[in-house]
A and B are shown apart, each in its own frame.
Chain A
Amino acid sequence: MQVSFIVPLYNQLALTRACLGSLRATVPADLAHEIILVDDGSTDDTREFLRDLAPPHVVLLNDRNRGYAASNNRAARVAQGEFLALLNNDLVLAPGWLEPMLAAFRRVPRAGVVGNLQRNATTGALDHAGVVFRDGGYPAHYRDDPAEFAVDGLAEFPAVTAACCLVRREWFLRTGGFDEGYQNGFEDTDLCLRAREDGLLNLVATGSVVRHHISASEGRGTHEFRNARRFLARWGPRTAALEREWILAMAQDRAAAAAREYFRPWHRRLGLGRPALRRAHRLALAAQRRRLAARSGRLRVGIDLLALQAGGANGGIKPFVLGLLAEVGRQRGGEFNFAVFVPAGLRDEVAAILRPGDYCLTPADGIFSVSRRTATGWKPDGTLPAGDPLPARAGLDVLYAPFGRSDLMRPGLPTVSVIVDLLHRDLPAALPVEEVNHRHAWFGQLARDATYFQCNSHHVAARLVTHYPVHPARCFLAYNAVQGRLPAPGALPAGAPEESFFFYPANFWPHKNHETLFVAYRLYALGAASRAWPLVCTGHPDGRMDLLRELRDGLGLKDRIVFLGHVKDDAFAALWSKAGALVFPSLHEGFGMPLLEAMRFGVPVIAADSTALPEVAGDACLAVDARDPRALAEAMRKVAIRTDLKEALVARGHARLAAFSLELEAGRLAHFLAAAARRVTP
């Protein structure tokens, strides 16, 4: 199936009939398609009309009025097409409207939401040629012919209206569809801005022209204020910046006079300036296009991996960041070159992310000095003197800091900083007080100096915004979707049990809560007697692992709890393929990569019900209060003996994986790196 047309309906039967008639008349003959009609609780004769429809029509009936976003999302979930064509029921479609939109996706692989030109059905005036921002970041239709800055029939806009648009179904579902928090308004602009975040382009196919009955849809104006507040809270700073960019571009583009005219308050009061504004926007869009076209040069991305450690001491951040960067290189290698900074001796660890034109520097190369890890945390040790020309010398356009802070940060060098958790604020007891203070100090600096924050989860972004003066518009999300990183299972590591076992892969940090797990495990093992599964713990061997061994022995569980230390990837995969269940009682996680690995290997998941874990696990997890050993023991008992539960968890886990795509996360990172480097609004 190529295209699923989706038309949400709410009354206006006459318009619906006309729309469907024009759709049937204009669908290309050879197009495999379906027409999904979602009735959103119409009170006129619409339902009767729908009763008589046969395939390719698919009819969905909402039990009550659920709104525009929910109706489209419902249809998208049952749709079969590669593309979704989202249509309002007040459209009048003209022959040849679809082909230019489909062609856009063939010509531009990074096309996100593709719209078209829309004319007023009554007057014939152009009503939509794209969406721009004005009046402080508020979306508005661009109503002039964009022909002069369109290239080959495609014009890039920050957003387009969804009254008539095309998107890839897979991306639409992965991004969560329309935000149902809006009520009949702003859903489309929100969706388009998310597409931009994912590194996609929103395009208007100027060869596609349709007519529509303006504001024939009901319920649009009613929720304007609430919708606008939601929209501006999420995107306001960014859309206002987009608006400013155009104004700036305008000034450079001999349109300064017109802009000044418009922004003179008395002109506004007199209602003057609309034509001037339109002209200004037109020129600005053209200027932005030229600027983008002029930036054919590659961007040099400095990547500060100086905190990288051999083996597994870094925890989950290492495989995630290396996997993500390799994917960025694969997707956008033509646009970026990496300059990777690593500790001496670890060049091999990053070899996989290097492509032609990239280079790798270690402190031994002599052009910079580095911090070193002390017992209590990161202490600068002969950091670069202020104003060191390093970034200039290395020709960096943007700095990427996977460990959050970076000694390579410089005024004027845009920086994208990775935030994996806010452990030091949300569970400070798990860290030495010196480390808490140290992290707090550098988070404060980052809040001031970093350009954008890559957050491990919505949970992390929310906590960052809570604890530090960081606006949500500076945060973007990159899930740790590296479940596909592991090689085929090799041999089991020495000491691993042959039978099913509970698996807890986690470094032996206090917040990982091994103690409560041991108490729970003993309760479980006493109850299950000879049928009890053993417990396998992997993780970077350190002093706390020795302590946990002592605690295990004190509980008389020497034969039942196995410590394997850090295991190589193929042995790790072998453990996953043998594990009976993942038990993940961590008290604090910014993400929780083992959950995805368990889902990928068909292993059922028991996890704590707090921090980012519910967001990652969704319904594919038996969630417990991980501080309560009796609850944890009960969960282990159930998963070990109840086949139905185990199968349900595995099936849900398999479905859940669809929400995590490294390709998408990397696209988002690439987008923000480029935006930071080029100093344009993401």
Chain B
Amino acid sequence: MIIGLDVSQTCAERAGCAWYADGLSRALIAAGLPRGHAFELYHHFGGWINADTRGGTLIDDPRVSAPLRGLAPDKAREFWREVESGEPLPAKPDVVLSFNFHAPRLPHSRLVYTVHDLAFWMHPAFATDETHLVCQREVLQALARAAGFLFNSQHTRDELELLFPSWLRLTGRPSLVAHGASRFPAPGAPPTPGPAAPWLVVGSLEPRKNHAAALDAYELYHAHSSVRRPLVVAGGAGWKSDAIRARLSALQGRGLTVHTPGYVPDAELAGLYASSFALVCPSWHEGFGLPLVEALTAGLPVLSSDRASLPEVGGDAPVYFAPDQPAALAEAMLALERDPAAHARRAAASLARGGAFSWAATAKSVLEFVERL
């Protein structure tokens, strides 16, 4: 069969959804080509139009085409307008997988829609107006149009059930939990942290990620620790990040060792996972939690918020805390630092838990799901 894949978000600076699209697309192609499937990659998708598609995911294979790559934005908009008004996609794919929240009308193909999270409805204060307006329209479009649903976690599927009680059951629409996985290979054994190995926080600076709690906790930790490890806050400036950026520079001004490398490219991020002391993940809400799974895969101990999808992904490996309790987080940081044996146990547990997530396994189940549609 011919399978269309939305890789539109991979063209821009990549966040969680984009890495999900990239990872799952690559794995689906790897698993699907031997089974006789052909693939179409869409570098613009629905209402998501890129100014430049050159950075997007690309696979070099005769059975993988990228018909929209290099298409100028106005042409791309025109293309999707025509598709919406009934024109079939070129190569007439049997199934099209959306990863970017958009649910265009595709009368000639079956749409499989990926729900990354419903935070814009569950916790509206954490969503931008734009996210709210676009996502609410597109999710409802998906409910009206999609033939099947992928959820990046059981938690996200539960959110849908909370907001749309019994909808999946009543409509008989099939769905599948398709966990993400790390884009980095797992080491053979957990790395041993250096004496100055830092605490690591990964994620764009926006209210939902709750950097404030991490900084509160770090200040407490810093006041009580004899080691005083640095803190690395990796992630680009997101929405409403002024306050947290001001806080970061204030801490730096007071002489605390807080590194803010901004958005970190791939290779560097892999290095950070390998060389840090532990990951701190204080989010109020996550649909999946890519940094968490990447840290687990890298064998890094994790201190994680107990909200949303994080316990589902982390299993028994992390030390959990409530995101409104920075003091508890600080306690956990100090405890982990004082007890090297516990650190080693947590690292091993992480590595073991990380093994539960692989793109190959997710792709296999997604492929079977798609074939059954």
Contacts and interface: CB of A to CB of B under 8 A. Distances in A.
B167 interface: yes
Interface stretch (B53-61, B88-96, B137-145, B188-196): B137-145
Contacts of B133: 427, 429-430, 510-511, 587
Interface in A544-570: 547, 550-551, 553-556
Interface stretch (A348-356, A517-525, A662-670): A517-525
Contact of B121 (A510, A516, A556): A516
Interface in A613-630: 625, 627-630
A515 interface: yes
Contacts of B144: 550-551, 553-555
B130 to A, nearest CB: 4
Interface string A392-436: 000000000000000000000000000000000001111000000
B163 interface: yes
A629 B136 CA distance: 11
Contacts of A518: 140
Given A526-B165, A556-B170, A556-B171, A629 B129 contact: no
B140 A627 contact: no
Contact of A627 (B124, B163, B165, B166): B124
A511 B137 CA distance: 11
B121 A555 contact: no
B2 interface: no
Given A550-B144, A627-B127, A515 B164 contact: no
B121 A519 contact: yes
B163 A519 contact: yes
B134 interface: yes
A519 B124 contact: no
Contacts of A554: 140-141, 143-145
Contact of B164 (A510, A519, A551, A553): A519
Contacts of A430: 129, 133
A304 to B, nearest CB: 31
B170 A515 contact: no
A609 to B, nearest CB: 12
Interface string B21-45: 0000000000000000000000000
B362 to A, nearest CB: 27
B132 interface: yes
Residue in B145, B162, B164 with the greatest tally of chain A CB atoms within 10 Å: B164
Interface string B163-185: 11111001100000000000000
B48 interface: no
A522 B164 contact: yes
A75 to B, nearest CB: 43
Contacts, number: 70
Interface string A624-640: 01011110000000000
Contacts of B163: 519, 523, 629-630
Given A550-B144, A551-B143, A515 B136 contact: yes
Interface magnitude class on chain B: 20 to 34
A429 B124 contact: no
Contacts of A553: 144
B74 to A, nearest CB: 12
Contact of A429 (B130, B145, B167): B130
Residue in B130, B133, B170 with the greatest tally of chain A CB atoms within 10 Å: B133
Contact of A555 (B134, B162, B167): B167
B120 interface: yes
B165 A523 contact: yes
Q: Interface SS of chain A: helix, strand, loop or mixed? A: helix
Interface magnitude class on chain A: 20 to 34
A625 B124 contact: yes
A629 B121 contact: yes
B120 A555 contact: no
Contacts of A550: 141, 144
B42 to A, nearest CB: 22
Contacts of B129: 427, 429-430, 587
Contacts of A627: 120-121, 124, 127, 132
Contacts of A427: 129, 133
Nearest to B136: A515
A510 B132 contact: no
Contacts of B130: 428-429
Interface in A514-539: 515-516, 518-519, 522-523, 526
Interface string A587-606: 10000000000000000000
Residue in B127, B128, B140 with the greatest tally of chain A CB atoms within 10 Å: B140
Residue in B163, B165, B166, B170 with the greatest tally of chain A CB atoms within 10 Å: B163
Nearest to A518: B140
Interface in B132-160: 132-134, 136-137, 140-141, 143-145
A518 to B, nearest CB: 7
Contacts of A510: 133, 137
A551 B164 CA distance: 13
A139 B142 CA distance: 64
A391 B162 CA distance: 61
A555 B124 contact: no
A375 B164 CA distance: 35
Given A429-B129, A510-B133, A627-B132, A551 B165 contact: no
Contacts of B121: 516, 519, 627-630
A519 B161 CA distance: 12
Contact of B140 (A511, A515, A628): A515
A587 B127 CA distance: 13
A428 B133 CA distance: 10
B140 A555 contact: yes
Contacts of B145: 554
Contacts of B136: 513, 515-516, 519
Interface string A494-507: 00000000000000
Contacts of A515: 136-137, 140
Contacts of A428: 130
B132 to A, nearest CB: 6
Contacts of A522: 164
Nearest to B120: A627
Interface in A452-500: none
Nearest to A628: B124
A95 B167 CA distance: 81
Contacts of A587: 129, 132-133
Given A516-B121, A519-B121, A627-B121, A555 B164 contact: yes
A21 to B, nearest CB: 62
Nearest to A625: B124
A270 B185 CA distance: 87
B236 to A, nearest CB: 20
A526 B129 CA distance: 28
A522 to B, nearest CB: 7
Contacts of A625: 124
B82 to A, nearest CB: 16
A5 B327 CA distance: 61
Residue in B130, B136, B164, B167 with the greatest tally of chain A CB atoms within 10 Å: B136
Contacts of B134: 429
Contacts of B162: 630
A407 to B, nearest CB: 28
A553 B143 CA distance: 9
A510 B137 CA distance: 9
Given A547-B141, A587-B129, 14 more contacts: A429-B128, A430-B133, A515-B136, A515-B137, A515-B140, A519-B121, A519-B136, A522-B164, A550-B141, A554-B143, A555-B144, A555-B164, A555-B167, A630-B162
Interface of A: 427-430, 510-511, 513, 515-516, 518-519, 522-523, 526, 547, 550-551, 553-556, 587, 625, 627-630
Interface of B: 120-121, 124, 127-130, 132-134, 136-137, 140-141, 143-145, 162-167, 170-171
5 contacts: A430-B129, A519-B163, A550-B144, A556-B167, A587-B129
Nearest 7 A-B pairs (CB), nearest first?
A554-B144, A627-B124, A429-B130, A515-B136, A551-B140, A554-B143, A429-B133
